[in-house]
Chains A and B, each alone.
Chain A
Amino acid sequence: MIGSLAIRANGLTRSFGKLVAVDHIDLAIPRNVIYGFLGPNGSGKSTTIRMLCGLLMPSAGEAEVLGLRMPDEAEALKQKIGYMTQRFSLYEDLTVHENLEFVARIYCLSPARRVTRIEELLEIYQLAGRARQYAGTLSGGEKQRLALAAATLHQPELLFLDEPTSAVDPQSRRDFWETLFQLVDAGTTILVSTHYMDEAERCHRLAILEHGVIRAEGSPQYLLENMNALVVEVHVQQSRQVRAELRALPEVLSVAQLGMVLRVLVQRELADPLAVVQGVIDRAGISAQARITAPSLEDVFVTATSLPQAGSVIAEAGG
């Protein structure tokens, strides 16, 4: 970890009436990484990001972003951060070039700098051929590249991405992440919220959120290694009854079917987790072999969000 923290938060809380959207979140996000907020809709990802941008007043707790106290110093922060919204939020009735021109003026770039920077961005994001085209007529991937170009136009130190690839095909998603890593290499810190596992996997560090609480935190590698469950896989054809029986067991955290494969998450503390699953299969009169397999990030996510008690896997330090 290099230098000071990009984001630091202590007991950050926000409630809307009776609903506590974000519940005492602590964050220590180093500079120069891609940090992910992984969680289902309504888990408090967007609310947290809004508080960190100074758009929402925290109900309790404090946050410091790039050394500026939020929300008091939000105005000063705005020149230093970029924000890419989930939905395309540039002007569809302006051309690609006009949109970038507008954003450049909003950030008060000098006229000379404006010209070179826009040219540069059109090049980087492969939009040079589309410069005179209305933004509304671009494809999903192109729109997303334009949005990223606009969000990074003023070369922010910190970039917020709110579910950036929800409307994009897999190839565009790969290219998009390629660009994000280039930005990090150039010194940017990126905070991305997502509910896609494959996106979360690419982050340097992750926080898994549920009901406004961080359930697990650390690098993907660390989270996989320290998961509080084991993954048992069985090939079965008639799985309905087996599934029901497995789910009824208290030591089984979750059962998911992936085609012909049943993926069972079993508590790690068990002496012989394999035997638990195998027992159910044998009793059902099915000849199949259960075996322990490597966990995926989805397993981590399911484990973290299915535990009754919060914060079981919170790591002290990242991997």
Chain B
Amino acid sequence: MNKCLSRLFAIMRKEVQQLARDRLTFGMIIGIPLLQILLFGYAINTDVRHLRAAVADVAQTQLSRRLVAAVQASQVVDVLKQVDTPARLEALLDRGEIAVGIVIPRDFERRLQRTRQPDGRRAAQLLVDGSDPLVLAAARGLTSLQLHQETQHADPPAVPLFEVRNFYNPERRSAVFVVPGLIGVILTMTMAMFTAVAIVRERERGNLEMLINTPVKSMELMVGKVLPYVFIGLVQVTLILLLGMLLFHVPLNGLVRDVYLAALVFIAANLTLGLLISTLAQTQFQAMQMTIFFFLPSILLSGFMFPFEGMPRIARYIAEVLPLTHFVRLIRGIMLRGAALGSLYGELAALFVFMLVTLILAAIRFRKRLD
């Protein structure tokens, strides 16, 4: 037992020495989380504002000008241009100069009075570049705009059916939503890739040929190589948590302990995935390709970027297999909703099942290799 630990320690020590020397990889360990959190925190925003817009105000009345002013005031669009005809708007839309065109027809005021009637046609029209669904959704928001026409009508203004109370993210900041999931994305990318590459490298460079004739057992080799990366994973988690809290005021409503426990389980799941990849790949390049093959569906289907609810059934089934899906639910639950880890046992169990299955597959593949 004592001897066993000495060998394990030797492998870990060597791995850390190599890692410390490999400046590029070392830089990536810090660089990837840093870059991602800055990108996702500052650059990526799903709350769309300031769309470029133009107006074709054919009516040219006081009321139509008030409508334009109200739209402008919403900050959803910036009115950059006034044109004469709707056709001009379409041309601008075609050329990509604007994302939204506002058409106010000649009989705007008459239409406005009739909107409440059953056959009522809308008073004005929005031409929207629907090629980006986020833009379309933002433009749709404009349709709920109310124009107070105190002079014209005695009708009370329409009252919306629902009032929305925003839980967990009252200021509607994307960073709050994105940063917890980002922990999972970064761990998926780095953990699986680093372990797979580290093990394949040993084979590719012939080191395994030497090790195989020493008393080192394959279990010692695997665990010894993987353990330093667990530590690195935890460092990355800490880095993202700190940056998220300092720069973007992401709340941590649950327990710090729960965050780390969930992260540990998730790291373990990704390391076993890395092990499995290492038994399949012959070269480091192949190992990297396989990680990306796994990484892309993870990032797209896990609910990290796009809501799970909008996906077709088959995509949801695939997503349920991916560990990131479960981790995103776990970490958002803990950090944003302040849920206890115990109450999310379903997601934890899914991660454990994934870990077990990949570990068994990796063990089978590894045994086949030797002979």
Tell me the A residues contacting B by CB distance below 8 Å.
Answer: 53, 55-57, 75, 78-79, 81-83, 85, 87-94, 98, 102-103, 105-108, 150, 160
- In order of increasing CB-CB distance, the 5 nearest A-B pairs are A105-B10, A83-B213, A89-B210, A89-B206, A78-B215
Does B85 count as interface, using CB distance less than 8 angstroms? no
Does B10 lie within 8 Å of A56, measured CB to CB? no
Determine the chain B residues whose CB is within 8 A of the CB of A98 once the complex forms: 14, 17
Does B21 lie within 8 Å of A93, measured CB to CB? yes
The interface-forming segment of B1-9, B175-183, B278-286 is B1-9
**4 extra interface residue pairs, beta carbon distance < 8 Å, beyond A57-B371, A78-B213, A89-B207:** A89-B209, A93-B18, A102-B10, A105-B10
Determine the chain B residues whose CB is within 8 A of the CB of A108 once the complex forms: 3, 6-7, 215
Does B213 lie within 8 Å of A81, measured CB to CB? yes
Does A94 lie within 8 Å of B207, measured CB to CB? no
- Tell me the smallest distance from the CB of A88 to a CB of chain B, in Å: 7
Chain B, 11-67, CB within 8 A of any chain A CB: 11, 13-14, 17-18, 21-22
23 A-B residue pairs with Cβ-Cβ distance under 8 Å, sorted by A, are A56-B371, A57-B371, A78-B213, A78-B215, A82-B213, A83-B213, A87-B206, A89-B205, A89-B207, A89-B209, A89-B210, A90-B210, A91-B18, A94-B14, A94-B18, A102-B13, A103-B214, A105-B7, A105-B10, A105-B13, A106-B216, A108-B7, A108-B215
Determine the chain A residues whose CB is within 8 A of the CB of B371 once the complex forms: 56-57
Determine the chain A residues whose CB is within 8 A of the CB of B370 once the complex forms: 55
Q: For the complex, what is the distance from the CA of A116 to the CA of B213, rounded to whole Å?
A: 24
Does B212 count as interface, using CB distance less than 8 angstroms? yes
Q: Specify the chain A residue showing the minimal Cβ separation from B19.
A: A93
Q: Specify the chain A residue showing the minimal Cβ separation from B214.
A: A106
Determine the chain A residues whose CB is within 8 A of the CB of B216 once the complex forms: 106
- Tell me the smallest distance from the CB of A121 to a CB of chain B, in Å: 16
Does A79 lie within 8 Å of B17, measured CB to CB? no
Q: Specify the chain B residue showing the minimal Cβ separation from A88.
A: B206
Does A105 lie within 8 Å of B6, measured CB to CB? yes
Secondary structure at the A interface, as helix, strand, loop or mixed, is loop
Q: Specify the chain B residue showing the minimal Cβ separation from A53.
A: B213
Does A107 lie within 8 Å of B17, measured CB to CB? no
Does A107 lie within 8 Å of B214, measured CB to CB? yes
Determine the chain B residues whose CB is within 8 A of the CB of A105 once the complex forms: 6-7, 9-10, 13
Evaluate whether A93 and B206 lie within 8 angstroms (CB atoms) in the complex, with A78-B215, A103-B214, A106-B216 already known: no
Interface residue tally for chain B (C-beta within 8 Å): 26
Of listed B3, B10, B208, residue having the most chain A CB within 10 A:
B10
- Tell me the smallest distance from the CB of B146 to a CB of chain A, in Å: 68
Secondary structure at the B interface, as helix, strand, loop or mixed, is helix
Q: Specify the chain A residue showing the minimal Cβ separation from B8.
A: A105
Does B215 lie within 8 Å of A87, measured CB to CB? no
Tell me the B residues contacting A by CB distance below 8 Å.
Answer: 3, 6-7, 9-11, 13-14, 17-18, 21-22, 205-216, 370-371
Taking a contact as CB atoms closer than 8 A, the residue among B3, B209, B212 that contacts A87 in the complex is: B209
Evaluate whether A90 and B207 lie within 8 angstroms (CB atoms) in the complex, with A75-B215, A78-B213, A108-B6 already known: yes
Q: For the complex, what is the distance from the CA of A102 to the CA of B9, rounded to whole Å?
A: 10
Determine the chain B residues whose CB is within 8 A of the CB of A56 once the complex forms: 371
Q: Specify the chain B residue showing the minimal Cβ separation from A95.
A: B17
Q: For the complex, what is the distance from the CA of A102 to the CA of B370, rounded to whole Å?
A: 23
Q: For the complex, what is the distance from the CA of A82 to the CA of B213, rounded to whole Å?
A: 7
Q: Specify the chain B residue showing the minimal Cβ separation from A103.
A: B214
Does A102 lie within 8 Å of B14, measured CB to CB? yes
Q: For the complex, what is the distance from the CA of A82 to the CA of B7, rounded to whole Å?
A: 17
Does B213 lie within 8 Å of A91, measured CB to CB? no
Q: For the complex, what is the distance from the CA of A93 to the CA of B370, rounded to whole Å?
A: 26
- Tell me the smallest distance from the CB of B231 to a CB of chain A, in Å: 19
Q: For the complex, what is the distance from the CA of A82 to the CA of B210, rounded to whole Å?
A: 10
Determine the chain A residues whose CB is within 8 A of the CB of B3 once the complex forms: 108
- Tell me the smallest distance from the CB of B283 to a CB of chain A, in Å: 16
Determine the chain B residues whose CB is within 8 A of the CB of A150 once the complex forms: 210
Does A92 lie within 8 Å of B205, measured CB to CB? yes
Q: For the complex, what is the distance from the CA of A173 to the CA of B215, rounded to whole Å?
A: 29
Q: For the complex, what is the distance from the CA of A85 to the CA of B212, rounded to whole Å?
A: 11
Determine the chain B residues whose CB is within 8 A of the CB of A55 once the complex forms: 212-213, 370
Does A85 lie within 8 Å of B17, measured CB to CB? no
Determine the chain A residues whose CB is within 8 A of the CB of B22 once the complex forms: 93
Determine the chain A residues whose CB is within 8 A of the CB of B209 once the complex forms: 85, 87, 89
Determine the chain B residues whose CB is within 8 A of the CB of A160 once the complex forms: 213
- Tell me the smallest distance from the CB of B329 to a CB of chain A, in Å: 40
Determine the chain A residues whose CB is within 8 A of the CB of B213 once the complex forms: 53, 55, 78, 81-83, 160
Q: Specify the chain B residue showing the minimal Cβ separation from A90.
A: B210
Q: For the complex, what is the distance from the CA of A89 to the CA of B207, rounded to whole Å?
A: 5
Q: For the complex, what is the distance from the CA of A160 to the CA of B370, rounded to whole Å?
A: 19
Q: For the complex, what is the distance from the CA of A150 to the CA of B209, rounded to whole Å?
A: 14
Determine the chain A residues whose CB is within 8 A of the CB of B14 once the complex forms: 91, 94, 98, 102
Taking a contact as CB atoms closer than 8 A, the residue among A79, A85, A90, A92 that contacts B215 in the complex is: A79
Q: Specify the chain B residue showing the minimal Cβ separation from A55.
A: B212
Q: For the complex, what is the distance from the CA of A56 to the CA of B212, rounded to whole Å?
A: 11
Determine the chain A residues whose CB is within 8 A of the CB of B207 once the complex forms: 89-91
Q: For the complex, what is the distance from the CA of A91 to the CA of B212, rounded to whole Å?
A: 14
Determine the chain A residues whose CB is within 8 A of the CB of B7 once the complex forms: 105-106, 108
Q: For the complex, what is the distance from the CA of A150 to the CA of B216, rounded to whole Å?
A: 15
Determine the chain B residues whose CB is within 8 A of the CB of A90 once the complex forms: 207, 210
Q: For the complex, what is the distance from the CA of A88 to the CA of B210, rounded to whole Å?
A: 9
Q: For the complex, what is the distance from the CA of A92 to the CA of B3, rounded to whole Å?
A: 26
Does B17 lie within 8 Å of A106, measured CB to CB? no
